[in-house]
Amino acid sequence: MTETTDRNDYPLLDQVETPAQLRELMPAELPALADELRHFLIDSVSRTGGHLAAGLGVVELTIALHRVFETPRDKLIWDVGHQAYPHKILTGRRARMDTLRKKGGVSGFLRRDESEYDAFGGGHSSTSISAALGMAIAAKLHGEQREHIAVIGDGALSAGMAFEALNHAGALDMDLLVVLNDNDMSISQPVGAVSNYLARVLSSGFYNKVREGSKQVFGPLPGVKDLMHRWEEHMKGMVMPGTLFEELGFTYIGPIDGHDIPLLLSTLKNMKAMRGPRFLHVVTQKGRGYAPAEGDPCVYHGVTPFNPDTGKMEKAAGSKTYTQVFSDWVCDAASADERLVAITPAMCEGSGLVDFAERFPSRYFDVGIAEQHAVTLAAGMACDGLKPVVAIYSTFLQRGYDQMLHDVALQNLDVTFAVDRAGEVGADGATHAGSFDMSFSRCVPNMAVLAPADEAECRALLHTAYLHEGPALVRYPRGRGPGVLPGTGLDILPWGRGEIRREGANVAILAFGTPLQTALAVGQALGATVANMRFVKPLDRDLVQRLAETHELLVTLEENVVMGGAGSAVDECLAELGLRPVLLNLGLPDRYIEQATQAEQLAEAGLDRDSVLRRIRQALAAHQQALPLNAAASKSG
C-alpha cells in the first residue's frame, strides 16, 4: 500500500464531495487524490466488510471518468456494484460509508433512489450495456445530447446478455461508450508502451479525420474501399485484440493502462469527441495498492472486517456453514459415483466448490457468468449418462429459469440443483435474496423441491435428491445452522415424507426448511404440534391431512414469499381433500426487504420467534371470537 498519507489524513479527498469539485482540482493533483481515495477505501471496508479488491482496481478509472464526463448529466452505469465503492465515495456518500451494507445505510450495490449519480441499479451482473443503450435511445428520442458510459468487468462480459447488447448497440449506431475493466482476461497482455501509443493515436482526432477523409476520397473507386478496410483491420488485428468489437460496430481503443491517469484522461477526452458506439479496453489490477489484496484478489473480493495493517480477517466461530456442508457432500458423493459432475456459473468459492475443483478437476465446470448456459449444459450432460449437480445461488437461478423449465424439467432429466442463499441473505440485500425459489420451482412439472431444516438434514436431502431419477432442487440458506452436525455417510431420507418433531394440540405448525427452529420455539410456548415437512414437492399429503383433521389451526412457516410458496401448496392440498381447517400462511411479504442483518430482516418480515408467536395468537383469538357468531348463525338458519 502506498504511504503518501496517514490514515484519516485526506487533504485532497476532503475537498471532493462531488464530481464537480473533482473537476476543479489541478491535473497534477489527481495521482495524490487516487492514493488518498485508495487509503480511505481500505480503512472504511476494513471496519464494515464488503467488496474490496475490485474497487481498489478502479480508483484511477473512477477519477478519470468523473473528471472527463459531466456526471450526473452524462449517465455513468457501473455493472453490478463491486467496483463502485470509489464512485460512491466521490459522489457525496463518503461520510456515510461506515453504514455500508447495514440496515438503512449505504447499499453495497447501485441504487437509483440512493443517489442521482447511480444511473441504474446494479445487483446482478452484465446488465450495464443494455441499460446504457436504453438510455441512449431515450436521449435520442427526447432530443437530448449527453454521454452514456457502461463500465463492465471482464467476468461480466462473459455473459450472453452483454454480447446481445453489444450486437444491438452496434447495429443501432447509438452514442454509447463501453469501458471494459479487464483485470483477468488473456487479452490484457498487450499493455505497455506500444499499445498505449496506439491507443493515443487511434483515439486522436487527427487519426480519425484521416481515416474518414480517406474513406471519402477513395470510397467511390471500385475495390479500393474494401482494400482499405481489409488493410486497416489486418494492421489493427496484428497488434490489438479489438477486431471482434470492431466487427460488432464499435470503434475499439486499447488496451490501455487503467492506472495511468494522464493516459486515461487523454484517451477518454478523445473518445468523448467521437460519435457512435465506442469501446475502450482498460487493463487494471484487482486489489491495486494493498499487498494482501494484490496477492489474493479472490479472497479479498468480498471481505469481513479485517485488520488493515495485516489484512487478517475476522472469522465467525461456530458450526459449519450450509455451503461447507454442501462442499463436503459433493466431494464425498463424487468419490462414490464417477458420473457426478459439478457446474457453477462463476461462483466456485461462494457455492463451495473449491475442494471439488482441486480433487476432481476433470469433472468441474465453471462456465463464467452464464447461468442459462450452466443449466442447459447440465441438461446436455444428463442426456448422455452423467449426473450433473448445478451449484448456484437462488437469486442467480432466476436467470436460468427458462432453461430449468424447458431444457431440464420438460425432458425430465436427472439434474440436481444445489441452491445456496435461499431466503434472506443479510447485507447483500434485496438483489441477492433467495425469496422466490419455492414459488417458481414448485409450479414446474417433474421438479422436486426439498427444504432441509438443519446441517445434517441438508447433507441427507442433497443425497436423497441426487439419487432421485429426475430434476430436483435442494434449497438451503446463507450462513450457519443450529449446529446439528452431519455425519460422513451418504444417507438418504424417505422420499416425499415429513416428520412430527413435537406433539401438541389445537395448533399445528408446518415448517418448511430452516424456520423449523423458530417453529419449535413457538410450539413450546403454545403447546403446539410441530411438523418438519422437508419436501415442498412432492408434498406429504398424508401428514397434511392427518394434521388438518386433528388440529383447530394449521400454520405454515417458510422463508419464501407467501404467494405461490409452500403454504400455497398446503392450501391447494387441503382444497383437493375437501378439508377446511383455519389456515395461517406465514412467509416473506409481498415486498422487497432491504439490507440488514438476517435477524433484522426476518423480524421485519414477521418471521422471528416473537412475531410468529404473536401472529398465531392473533389468529387463534380471531377464530375463537368468530365461533359464537358462527354458532348463532347456524341456529338462526
Helix spans in 453-590 (H):
455-467, 516-526, 541-550, 566-577
> Of the residues 399, 442, 478, 537, which is catalytic?
399
* Whether residue 272 lies in the annotated active site: no
Residues in the chain: 637
Contacts of 411 (CB under 8 A, 6+ apart): 379, 383
CA-closest candidate to residue 51, choices 298, 323, 259, 294: 298
* Whether residue 478 lies in the annotated active site: no
> Of the residues 36, 60, 114, 371, which is catalytic?
371
Contacts of 508 (CB under 8 A, 6+ apart): 528, 529, 530, 531, 547, 548, 550, 551, 553, 554, 555
DSSP letter (8 states) at residue 577: H
The separation between CA 89 and the C-alpha centre of its own chain, rounded to angstroms, equals 22
CB count, 10 Å around CB of 412? 14
Q: Please confirm whether the linkage preceding 308 is cis (ω < 30° from 0).
A: no
Residue type for 444, please?
V
DSSP sequence for 292-327: HHHH-TTTTTEE-SB-TTT-PBP---SS-BHHHHHH
Element (H, E) at 382: helix 371-383
Which cell numbers in the block locate residue 264? 486515461
DSSP sequence for 590-628: SS---SS-HHHHHHHTT-SHHHHHHHHHHHHHHHHHHHH
Residue type for 231, please?
W
* Whether residue 399 lies in the annotated active site: yes
Q: Are 38 and 271 in contact (CB under 8 A)?
A: no
> Of the residues 88, 102, 286, 475, which is catalytic?
286
CA-closest candidate to residue 63, choices 301, 344, 260, 276: 260
Residues with catalytic roles: 286, 371, 399
